[in-house]
Amino acid sequence: MNNESTGKDPQNQKWRIVCYVNQFFGQVGGEEKADCGFMVKQGPVGPVRLLHWFLEGDGEVVATVICGDNYIARNLEQAVEEGLKIIADLQPSLFFSGPAFNAGRYGVACGAIASAVQERLGIPAITGLFPENPGAEMYRKRAWVVKTGGNAAHMKEAMGTMAGMARKLMKKEPLGSPAKEGYLPRGFLKNEAIGKTAAIRGIEMLLDKVASRPFKTELQIPTFEEIEPAPPIKDIKAARIAMVSDGGVVPKGNPDGMKVSQNTVWASYNLGDIFAKPFQIVHSGYHPTEVRENLNRLLPLDVLKEMEAEGEFASLLPVFFSCSGNTTTVQSARDMGRGIAQKLVDEGVRGVILTST
Amino acid sequence: MQITSIVDVAMMVGVSRLIRGYCITSPVGDFHLKPEDEKAMRRRYVKKALEMLQGEGEKGNYKTI
Amino acid sequence: MKLRLESVKITDVRFGSKTSISNGILYVNKHELNDLVCADENFTNVNIEIVKPGDNARIVNVVDVVEPRCKISGGSDFPGVLGKIVSAGRGTTRALKGMAVVLCDRHHHWIHSKALIDMTGPGAELGRYGKMPNLVIDPIPNGEIDDLDYAYSVRRAGFKAAVYLAGAAGADQVEDVEVFDTETIHPDLPRIAYFYQIYSPQHDPKGIPDPIFYGSPISLTLPLVVHPNEILDGAVLSGYTIRMMETYSIQNHPIVTELFRRHGEDLNFAGVVLGVCSMEPIRRTLGAVMVGNLVHETLKADGVIMTKPLGGAPNVDLGVAASECEKLGVKTVLLLQLLNTGAALDSEVLFNDPALNAIINCGIIFETQELPELKKIIGGTAETPVFNDSCKQLAGQPIVVEKRFICGCLNQLGASTAAAVEY
């Protein structure tokens, strides 16, 4: 059995390492063998020998798991489950997949399997991908993805970095920033002291910009995906309308745990109740005095009810969708929006009035 | 469609049916007005909103009330 | 306009029988200071404490930090707040360097707006005030007082103390003199201006604006030109929410002082435009157009560096103003903070004008920091709540706080070296 705190086999004190590679690097064959299923070969195979060599003294590759790119791509979820079981049975304390460089199917497979191992076996799982490999964006937050060059000419370098990271993770040494260590960002921000004060960096950047000397911005402006506007509502009198707001209105007690900032929670609440019973504002980006005095200033229920009675539209959805839009990331906003949109579609809503503070 | 006073951000992300709200703390109501006048103003906002839902979306622009 | 800033370096602060300075040690007559502070009827009494770097102490309920300064000539102390309204920025001001006066407000309840200072441990490492001796003023409220009224009293107490302490320094004790003067123009050097968005009314409690400009509220002001000396000399003070712009950092404004230092070396300090974040779009556009004109036509700047307070809305407002400047050919650099720990460095800026391609990263405000249990709590008790969105925690426990609440850790004026790094 493995020694749990260091992952080392007490027999020979080395980490039990298992690696996954595809049919090509596993020396089964080329593209013509991409449909082959999972197989296990003893010890390191092909380029995995490099990894074995890098980690000599600390770890030992006990098995190489091989599978064809097409076999996995055809049914990713199922294949990952199958692979995970095989890997688990080998009882590794450390796992590697790839590196896959810029190969798309292989990269996604490497990322998916590494993520499953990391999350479900609880051991460090490291892969290597070129930043533009689709697997990189999909899995960098879930497994350790070392940044590699675009093709296998970078194999030695990639393996070296992967081995170096493995050592730090296994020895529980502090890991530096992605930029320093050579892995892809895992999706969060930390503050670091970077030498000069922001004031001095700013003035120096400005002097460069004014003099037309090259400079590098520290933050980039965002780009947003193009979204097609929904087509016009042809028959408003037959349409169901709904309200959505990101002003953070919730029933008193905040039953769904909405956050005042960096929120990711959305919920629907009955309009009658929110107007009749106590409510609170969970949003620390504006002063709620005016909305507390008259909730219609955020959710124009008074006039919508009148217009519904007058037949301006068919019906107003009895619930509204609420979230708090204060310092949300673009990604969280997108996720909340998609979730709310699906519910609206399910309720037969044709038009939405979204109010924001 | 969206009603917000921070039209710059809405336009930046590509909102295609946009009305400029009254102010950050009160998007659909001018609280300096008498209650009945404020409600009448709110009605104008919502009427415009329903109109816009019946029209083509237009990015990079917003309506004011 | 010339301002002469005289400095006396303080290495230690102790209580003594007479408020005086000797060999870099500031002695403070506690009773005299107590009487001075308690002249305000909003207080029944005041706790006055001295803390030093390394003390096992945590100061909570911090609402401002002030450097001791007093006018020797050419103006009045904190004009419009303590002294009568005359222009700041002229004559001579004397400062005690290397220490600070810390103000605690136990009374008002909006805990988003209060910070803390640890004098030992990781908190002291991160925040500049944990590295200097501080004199803490922690008044006791006289019954039930309106939050705002009390908050102003506390801040005023800080300024009074600042003046009182600085007054202990004699002319013969002055060690360093800086003269802030940009009257000489150097035609071969670029003209650099500073746009200082000092305030946003979005958090005005009960809609009442904060009187931070010469003691007057400035919520609805359109942009105006001020002399940079005024900023250094007490015309602009911290607002109701401390939010990483405590008065000490304004008195020692990193951009203003750096632009002064470089005036004649590699730039001309062209001047300062003050602005306020607009709450609604017509005003925002008008304000932005005016900033463009003031910076381009009035200050004749080649470039402008820009800062903002608070959070997202001022970020938008700053972007619109910067775009107007760029349209007129004035190059801009903006100092911004990131507002979400789950963000990336290329998605969280709230504007996308490609001309705004020079942005400085002033840190991620929500990154959390674990702070250990410390023995002594000042400005509150061990039961004083410390803000954490996910759980209840008290000052006397080990706590987890966002870095924006560690006073002197992050700063929106550019004083900090902290930047957000992708992990």
Task: HSE, CB side, 13 Å, CA atoms: give it for residue A324.
Answer: 24
* Per-domain boundaries in chain A: 8-181, 236-355
Residue A355, chain B, CB below 8 Å: the answer is: yes
Question: Which residues, 6+ apart, have CB-to-CB distance to C187 below 8 Å?
Answer: none
- Residues C353, A221 contacting (CB under 8 angstroms): yes
- Residues A170, A15 contacting (CB under 8 angstroms): yes
What residues of chain C lie within 8 A of the CB of A259, using their CB? 389
Question: Which residues, 6+ apart, have CB-to-CB distance to A193 below 8 Å?
Answer: C417, C418
Q: Which residue of A has its CA nearest to B13?
A: A224
Strand stretches in A50-197, DSSP E:
59-67, 94-101, 125-129, 144-147, 189-193
Name the token pair of A6: 């260091």
Chains that touch A (3 or more CB pairs under 8 A): B, C
Separation between Cα atoms, residue A9 and residue C199, nearest integer Å:
61
Dihedral sign of CA atoms A165, A170, A173, A176 in order: positive
- Residues C335, A198 contacting (CB under 8 angstroms): yes
3-class DSSP string for chain C: CCEEEEEEECCEEEECCCCEEECCEEEECHHHHHHHHHCCCCEEEEEEEEECCCCCEEEEEEEEEECCEEEEECCCCCECCCECCCCCCCEEEEEEECCEEEEECCCCCCHHHCEEEECCCHHHHHCHHHHCCEEEEEEEECCCCCHHHHHHHHHHHHHHHHHHHHCCCCHHHCCEEEEECCCCCCCCCCEEEEEEEEECHHHCHHHCCCCCECCECCCCCCCEEECHHHHHCCCECCCCCCCCCCHHHHHCCHHHHHHHHHECCCEEEEEEEEEECCCCHHHHHHHHHHHHHHHHHHCCCCEEEEECCCCHHHHHHHHHHHHHHHHCCCEEEEEEEECCCCCCCCCCCCCCCCCCCCEEEEEECCCEEEECCCCEEECCCCCCECCCCCCCCECCCCEEEEHHHECCCCCCCCCCCEEEEEC
Residues of chain A scoring pLDDT < 70: 1-12
Separation between Cα atoms, residue A216 and residue C87, nearest integer Å:
39
Say what the pLDDT of residue C400 is.
96
Question: Which residues, 6+ apart, have CB-to-CB distance to C139 below 8 Å?
Answer: C37, C38, C40, C42, C43, C45, C46, C47, C104, C105, C106, C153, C154, C157
What residues of chain B lie within 8 A of the CB of C319, using their CB? 8
φ, ψ of residue C335 to 5 degrees: the values are -105, 120
Residue A292, chain B, CB below 8 Å: the answer is: no
Burial class (CB in 10 A: 0-12, 13-18, 19+), C2: middle
What residues of chain C lie within 8 A of the CB of B9, using their CB? 316, 350-351
Highest average pLDDT, of B9-23, C230-244, C297-311, C335-349, comes from: C297-311
Q: Between β-strands C134-141 and A59-67, what pairing exists: parallel, antiparallel or unpaired?
A: unpaired
Nearest Cβ partner for A191 among C112, C359, C419: C419
What residues of chain B lie within 8 A of the CB of A227, using their CB? 14, 16
* Per-domain boundaries in chain B: 2-53
SS3 A79: helix
Minimal CA separation from B6 to chain A, in Å: 8
- Of A291-295, B47-51, C386-390, the range with the lowest mean pLDDT is C386-390
What domains appear along chain C, each with residue ranges and CATH number?
3-177+368-400 (no CATH), 184-364 (3.40.50)
- Residues C245, C412 contacting (CB under 8 angstroms): yes
Minimal CA separation from C350 to chain A, in Å: 8
Minimal CA separation from A353 to chain B, in Å: 5
Dihedral sign of CA atoms C190, C191, C194, C195 in order: negative
Residue that has been written with the tokens 């705004």 in this structure: C356
- Residues B21, B3 contacting (CB under 8 angstroms): yes
Alpha carbon B63 to its chain's center: 7
- Of A124-133, A282-291, B33-42, C43-52, the range with the lowest mean pLDDT is A282-291
What residues of chain B lie within 8 A of the CB of A236, using their CB? 50, 53-54
Separation between Cα atoms, residue C304 and residue A216, nearest integer Å:
17
Residue C32 in this model has a pLDDT that exceeds 90:
yes
Pick from A272, A275, A283, A300: nearest CA to A247: A283
What residues of chain A lie within 8 A of the CB of B16, using their CB? 227, 229
Name the token pair of A122: 């609880």
The arithmetic mean of pLDDT across residues C73-101, rounded, is: 97
Pick from A136, A100, A96: nearest CA to A24: A100
Pick from C303, C229, C227, C295: nearest CA to C267: C303
Residue A238, chain B, CB below 8 Å: the answer is: no
Dihedral sign of CA atoms A142, A143, A146, A151 in order: negative
Separation between Cα atoms, residue C245 and residue C255, nearest integer Å:
13
Q: Which residue of B has its CA nearest to C313?
A: B6
SS3 A256: coil
Say what the pLDDT of residue C109 is.
67
Nearest Cβ partner for B25 among A290, A350, A354: A290
Residue C350 in this model has a pLDDT that exceeds 90:
no
Say what the pLDDT of residue A2 is.
44
- Residues A59, A2 contacting (CB under 8 angstroms): no
Residue A291, chain B, CB below 8 Å: the answer is: yes
Say what the pLDDT of residue A9 is.
55
Chains that touch B (3 or more CB pairs under 8 A): A, C
Q: For testing the chain A interface, which of C308, C328, C360, C366 should be mutated: the one with the most A CBs within 10 Å?
A: C360
- Helix and strand numbers (H, E) in chain B are 2, 2
DSSP letter at A175 equals P
Q: What percent of chain C has pLDDT over 90?
A: 79
Question: CA angle, corner C171, sides to C169 and C173, nearest 5?
Answer: 60
- Residues A355, A247 contacting (CB under 8 angstroms): yes
A356 and B27 in contact by Cβ < 8 A? yes
Pick from C370, C76, C402: nearest CA to C233: C76
What residues of chain B lie within 8 A of the CB of A241, using their CB? 50, 53
The arithmetic mean of pLDDT across residues C45-73, rounded, is: 97
**CB < 8 Å from C in window 10-49 of B:** 12, 20, 22-25
C280 and B7 in contact by Cβ < 8 A? no
Average pLDDT of chain A is 93
Pick from C299, C359, C365: nearest CA to C328: C299
Task: Tell me chain A's radius of gyration from C-alpha atoms.
Answer: 27
Dihedral sign of CA atoms C183, C186, C187, C193 in order: negative
Q: Which residue of A has its CA nearest to C202?
A: A286
Separation between Cα atoms, residue B20 and residue A355, nearest integer Å:
10
Nearest Cβ partner for A185 among C344, C358, C367: C344
Q: Which residue of A has its CA nearest to C363?
A: A191
- Residues A323, A263 contacting (CB under 8 angstroms): yes
The DSSP code sequence of A198-224 is HHHHHHHHHHHHHTT-----SSPPP--
- Name the CATH architecture for the domain at A8-181: 3-Layer(aba) Sandwich (3.40)
What residues of chain A lie within 8 A of the CB of C416, using their CB? 197-198
Q: Which residue of B has its CA nearest to A223?
A: B13
- Residues C55, C376 contacting (CB under 8 angstroms): yes
Instruction: Order across the sheet with C25-28: list the strands.
Output: C12-15, C25-28, C20-22
Minimal CA separation from C402 to chain B, in Å: 25
Q: Between β-strands C25-28 and C12-15, what pairing exists: parallel, antiparallel or unpaired?
A: parallel
Pick from C110, C211, C105, C210: nearest CA to C158: C105
Question: Which residues, 6+ apart, have CB-to-CB distance to A2 below 8 Å?
Answer: A8, A9, A10, A16, A91, A93
Residue type (1 letter), C180:
F
What residues of chain A lie within 8 A of the CB of C250, using their CB? none
What residues of chain A lie within 8 A of the CB of C189, using their CB? none
The backbone region for C215, taken as left when phi is positive above 0, alpha when psi lies in -120 to 50, beta otherwise, is left
Dihedral sign of CA atoms A321, A325, A328, A331 in order: positive
Separation between Cα atoms, residue C200 and residue C405, nearest integer Å:
19
Question: CA angle, corner A73, sides to A68 and A78, nearest 5?
Answer: 95
Burial class (CB in 10 A: 0-12, 13-18, 19+), C86: middle
Nearest Cβ partner for C316 among B9, B20, B23: B9
Residue C203 in this model has a pLDDT that exceeds 80:
no
Minimal CA separation from B25 to chain A, in Å: 6
A302 and B46 in contact by Cβ < 8 A? no
Separation between Cα atoms, residue C324 and residue C334, nearest integer Å:
13
- Residues C372, C362 contacting (CB under 8 angstroms): no
Residue C160 in this model has a pLDDT that exceeds 90:
yes
A190 and C348 in contact by Cβ < 8 A? no
**CB < 8 Å from A in window 11-70 of C:** none
Size of interface B-C (CB pairs under 8 A): 30
Say what the pLDDT of residue A108 is.
94
- From residue C396, alpha-carbon distances to A262, C58, C210 in Å are 27, 9, 31
Minimal CA separation from B59 to chain A, in Å: 9
Chain segment C204-242, per-residue pLDDT in tens: 766 778 889 999 998 888 999 999 999 999 999 988 777
